[in-house]
Amino acid sequence: MTLAAVKATASARTTSTPRSVVRTVFGMPTNDGAGVKLTRVIGTPHLRGVDPFLMLDEFRSDEPQDYLAGFPSHPHRGFETFTYMLAGRFRHRDNKGNEGLLEAGGGQWMTAGRGIVHSEMPEQKEGLVWGFQLWLNLPAKDKMRAPGYRDLQAADIPTATLDGGVHVRVVAGRVGEVTGPISIGDDRATEPLFFEVVIPENGYVTLPLPTSHAVFVYPFEGETSIGEGASAKALARGELAILGDGDTVRIASRNGPARAIVVGGKPLREPVVQYGPFVMNTEAEVRKALRDFQLGQF
C-alpha cells in the first residue's frame, strides 16, 4: 500500500478534515508492580483518561534495579490491557492457564472481563527494557465477559510500507489493505487502533482515521509535528498529543527520524468507577469485585 493510495482513500470521502492537536501533556514518573520505574502518561492528575483509554504507561530503563522486581500476580476486572514491547523480555502467566513470552516487537492483548489474575516478570538480568502498557475500558455489557488472552510475536504484526520510507506496524485496526491481528471486526465496542509509525528524516505520513474515534499520538523516539504549515504543532519526545475531530492526521518527523504510536478508540461515554485494578460503572460493582477477588472467585 503506497502513501498515494492511503491519501486517495482519504480524499475519496465526501469531506476530508485533518485533525489538529487540542491538548498536549507530558507523563509523570512513578512506579508500579513491585517497584518497576515507569512514566505514566494517561491516568495522572493531569490527564485522568481519554475515553475509552484509562491508562498509558511507558517503561524504559537499562538499569536492572528499575525493572527486576517485575509485576507479580495481581487481579484485574472490567477492562482490557495491551502491552507492547520495544526491547526486553517479560513472561506472562495467569490463573486461566495462559502463558506467553513478551519480546521485542511483540506483545499481548488481555481481556480481564469478569476477572483474571496474572503476572508479568522479566526474563533478563541486564540490558534495556522498553515498552508500553495501555488500558482500555470495556462497556457495561462486556465487563463480566469471559477473560481472554492473545499472545503476539513480532512476526504476527504486519507492516504497511508507504511512500517516502514510512513504515507503519499495524497492531489493531487497518492501514490501507493491511489489517492488524487485533482488528476492527473482533467484537470490541471500542474498535481500537494501535499503530507504530516509523518516519525517516524529513518524512511525513497522512493517515485516514475514523471520525468516531478519540485519537492520540505519542512520539517515543525523535520529534514530530502534527498538521501542516503554520498551524502544525511540534511535539517533543514523550509529549502526548490529543487530537480533535477529523478523518485524517498528518505526522512529520522533525530534526531527524522519528517513531510514534498512534492510538484510537470509540468513546464509551459511560460512568467510570476505578479502584486500582478494578474498573466498573458503579461503586457497588467495584465493592463486589473486591469481595469476589478476596473470596477467590476470579
pLDDT of residue 202: 96
Task: For residue range 94-130, list pLDDT tens digits in order.
Answer: 999 999 999 999 999 999 999 999 999 999 999 999 9
Handedness of CA 250, 253, 255, 259 (dihedral sign): positive
Q: Residue 13's pLDDT band (boundaries 50, 70, 90)?
A: very low
Residues 26-46, mean pLDDT to the nearest whole number:
97
Q: How far apart are CA 170 and CA 196, in angstroms?
A: 7
Tell me how many domains the chain contains: 1
CATH code (residue 64): 2.60.120.10
pLDDT of residue 175 exceeding 90, the answer is yes
pLDDT of residue 187: 81
Asked whether the beta carbons of 10 and 19 are under 8 A apart, the reply is no
Q: How far apart are CA 270 and CA 136, in angstroms?
A: 13
Residues 31-49, mean pLDDT to the nearest whole number:
97
Q: How far apart are CA 111 and CA 148, in angstroms?
A: 5
**Domain extent for 54:** 3-294
C-alpha cell at 165: 520510507
pLDDT of residue 286: 98
Judged by DSSP in three states, 294 sits in helix
Judged by DSSP in three states, 208 sits in strand
Task: For residue range 204-230, list pLDDT tens digits in order.
Answer: 999 999 999 999 999 999 999 999 888
Asked whether the beta carbons of 283 and 277 are under 8 A apart, the reply is no
Cis bond upstream, residue 181 (ω within 30): no
Q: How far apart are CA 153 and CA 76, in angstroms?
A: 23
Q: Residue 15's pLDDT band (boundaries 50, 70, 90)?
A: low
pLDDT of residue 7 exceeding 90, the answer is no
pLDDT of residue 10: 41
- Report the chain's mean pLDDT, rounded to a whole number: 94
Residues 13-21, mean pLDDT to the nearest whole number:
81
Whole-Å CA distances, 198 to 43, 105, 125, 194, 262: 26, 13, 29, 13, 11
Residues 80-90, mean pLDDT to the nearest whole number:
98
Asked whether the beta carbons of 91 and 71 are under 8 A apart, the reply is no
Q: Minimal CA–CA distance to 19: which of 247, 206, 262?
A: 247
Q: Residue 2's pLDDT band (boundaries 50, 70, 90)?
A: low
Predicted structure pTM score: 0.93
pLDDT of residue 219: 98
Percentage of residues of the chain with pLDDT beyond 70: 94
pLDDT of residue 153 exceeding 50, the answer is yes
pLDDT of residue 185: 57
